[in-house]
Structure 1
Amino acid sequence: MEHSLSPYKPSKAATIYAAATGLVVWFALILQVSISIPAYMKVNNSLLNAIIQILSFFTIQSNLMVGVCLWTLLLKPSNALYRFFSREYVLGGICLYIIVVGLVYNIILRNLWHPTGLFKLADDLLHSVNPLLFVIYWLIFARQEKLKWTQSLNWLWFPFLYLIYTVIRGAIINYYPYPFINVDKLGYSQVLINSLILLIVFLVLGLLLVAVNRIFKTRTGPPS
């Protein structure tokens, strides 16, 4: 029997944690935007182009998902948005994306630049603190709906479409937000290989999240 639509009321601790973590996430996003826009505009970008540039980073998009999700969970359980974002499938997908943000940055990208001051603060929050905080929420407070293994495939749509968007936009403006998908330097063949590897990473981590979900479901969730 499927329980995804069963009534669910968050605990007081879950609500407090979502509110506090959401505050941290939105602070980091606002900080990053406020310091990045002037920096981009100094190199002959218009305000609109600067905003699009910032929003074109997978890090920003994933953190936006986290921020919207957490503060949507402060709404009444009867609210349609709350019902959507409280679903384990949705929370699991957002958790996957923000985990990849943390792993890729801290393993591959961190040593490529050395921010200071407010840039370093925003950098650490967006790539390290926020992913950890959301994983904790998912592990402790998410409702225990049993995920299907095939749902890990559905989670690939967002990164797949993001890669297509980034390559097309990069070909138009000659700018790529991440070095491993920089067609100008690597060529399309290498970028295709890198993209496939990245999607495999998403899939493997997605399967791992499903496995963790099913273990917790077996131990604590209602029978299906």
Structure 2
Amino acid sequence: MENNNILTMEHVSYRYKDAKQNEYVLTDLNFTFQKGLVYAIKGKSGSGKTTLLSLLSGLETDYEGNIYFRERELRQFDLDRYRSRDIGIVFQSYNLLPHLSAAENIILSMNVSQYPIPDKKEKAVELMKRVGLSEDQKDRRVLKLSGGEQQRVAIARSLSYEPKLILADEPTGNLDKETEREIMDILVDLAKQEQKCIIIVTHSDPVCKRADIVYQL
């Protein structure tokens, strides 16, 4: 039987380097994440949500316990390659380059990942359509797009090298309720239709209600 676990945390604890010996931000976390499901990570400010994403994305490696990606401990990976090929990251503030067009932002991600794609512009358009953007918008500067459209570009960018795991940091935090629902439709569809694992850090109750599993910090 296929193991659907893509990411596993076993007894993970973390404290900042300058913290006291017993001052942990995260303590003894045991979380499992599977393909095809949407997870919400919820907690009040200061509970360690952003720190957790830093651990899962390999930006912080000085943790106690183990984090396994596809049954291999994360610290054994080339973490630059892990971030540019194995996981996609979506930010609250979109993190797009404003002087580039929508398609150029997506193509830049392909170039960084060195993912072998014969026609990158065609692939960028395909990805934009997957997240509900039109081909007419491919050459539009991202600053000319609405917040919801920019977040769709950011999601398309995160899909440019077809990762199975998407980490999203407050992806609807800057959006109105209707646009939040539309973005969640996209993320839920990616999990259900494409068997991706979607992990969302959020304060939003509507986002949590759309998740399959909610982990509280």
> Would you tell me which structure has more strand in proportion to its own residues?
2
TM-score, structure 1 as length reference: 0.24
Larger RCO, structures 1/2 (Cα 8 Å, 6+ apart): 2
TM-score, structure 2 as length reference: 0.25
> Would you tell me which structure has more helix in proportion to its own residues?
1
Larger radius of gyration: 1
